[in-house]
Amino acid sequence: MKADHLFMEFEKDEEVTSPEIYELNIISGGCRLYGYLLAPDKRIEKPYPTVITSHGFPGYTTNNDLELALMRAGCVVIHMNHRGAWGSEGNYLFTNLKDDLIAITKWAKNPAIADQYGIDPDNIFLVGHSMGGQSVLNAAKELPFIRGVAALAAYDIGAAFRYHLEKELFLMIETEGQCLKMNSAAEVYENARDFRGELGILNQYERLVSIPVLLVEASLDSVAPADKMMRPLWEQLKESSAPVTYQVIVSTHSFAGQRMKLAKTVAEWIEKTAG
């Protein structure tokens, strides 16, 4: 893994060694999740640090550029669509997101799978943006074997209710969520409301104390304002002397104008954190 190779390529591909994109389907909660695995050029020595990404709500910001950059730097990258999203089976519910990530991570750590794709089972990272940031933090609490977790402009459902942003949350579900498979916007909203304590990133935060955590704030974020949604977690982890890193990028929620800086921030943290 070399962070300075994020935006570098070999002069040409070679048939035997070139990077590969593999279609995947992984079972979670009895449903097939569809996605892909990016495998780096085989001229890079394996085993490879492995990054499992989690998309936001509903997933328009795919982070493909970040994933391909990490592949060039020497990571295996796994991108799966959550239940009910972008063709994956089942209905979309916020409470499914953590369980999907746990299923994907355990799949990647399986010795047969790790050997097939060159995955380093001791260097698995979770990286999520927006609602995916909440999801990876919650999954990490139940996956103590992962090497680290990175949340980018994380949305926090617990904070949304704590700061009376319920109307904004429902509107987001009703409008942006039209591309998702769900029984109704009301059901998805009620799922958030009923499980807001469990879904909130401050819930059982002490389980993150022993795991390296990267939190990346978008300082112009109006969707998931960091002072309400991510900084409280940073402050709790700092007080516990946890291995937490907090970075601020001057950009909006999607980091649209600072994608290379975002990739560099995540890659340098992975390079430093990988065992």
Please give the DSSP secondary-structure letter assigned to residue 60: S
Q: Which residues pair with 215 in a beta bridge?
A: 151, 246
Percent of the chain clearing pLDDT 90 (strictly above)? 97
Average pLDDT over residues 158-165: 97
- CA 162-256-273 angle, 5° bins: 75
Res 60: pLDDT: 85
Residue 139 has pLDDT above 90, yes or no: yes
Average pLDDT over residues 189-214: 96
Res 179: pLDDT: 93
At residue 211 the predicted structure's pLDDT band, cuts being 50, 70 and 90, is very high
Res 61: pLDDT: 82
Res 107: pLDDT: 98
At residue 190 the predicted structure's pLDDT band, cuts being 50, 70 and 90, is very high
**Structural domain count, the chain:** 1
Res 103: pLDDT: 98
What CATH number is attached to the domain comprising 80? 3.40.50.1820
Find the DSSP H helices in 3-144.
Answer: 64-72, 94-109, 111-117, 131-140
Average pLDDT over residues 90-114: 98
Residue with tokens 């304590």, as numbered in its chain:
197
CB contact at 8 A, 55 and 81: yes
User: Tens digits of per-residue pLDDT, 45-67?
Assistant: 999 999 999 999 998 888 999 99
At residue 155 the predicted structure's pLDDT band, cuts being 50, 70 and 90, is very high
At residue 251 the predicted structure's pLDDT band, cuts being 50, 70 and 90, is very high
Stretch (H or E) spanning 26: strand 20-28
Task: Tell me, yes or no, if the pTM score tops 0.85.
Answer: yes
Res 253: pLDDT: 97
Question: Cβ atoms within 10 A of the Cβ of 112, count?
Answer: 6
Average pLDDT over residues 225-242: 95
Dump strand ranges (E) for 108-153. Answer: 119-129, 148-152
Please give the DSSP secondary-structure letter assigned to residue 95: H
Q: Helix, strand or coil for residue 134?
A: helix
Residue 273 has pLDDT above 90, yes or no: yes
Identify the domain containing residue 153 by its residue range.
3-273
Residue 275 has pLDDT above 80, yes or no: no
Residue 183 has pLDDT above 90, yes or no: yes
Res 128: pLDDT: 98
Res 59: pLDDT: 83
At residue 259 the predicted structure's pLDDT band, cuts being 50, 70 and 90, is very high
> Between the CA of residue 204 and those of 62, 148, 193, what are the distances in Å?
28, 17, 18
Average pLDDT over residues 244-263: 97
Res 137: pLDDT: 98
Tally the residues of the chain.
275
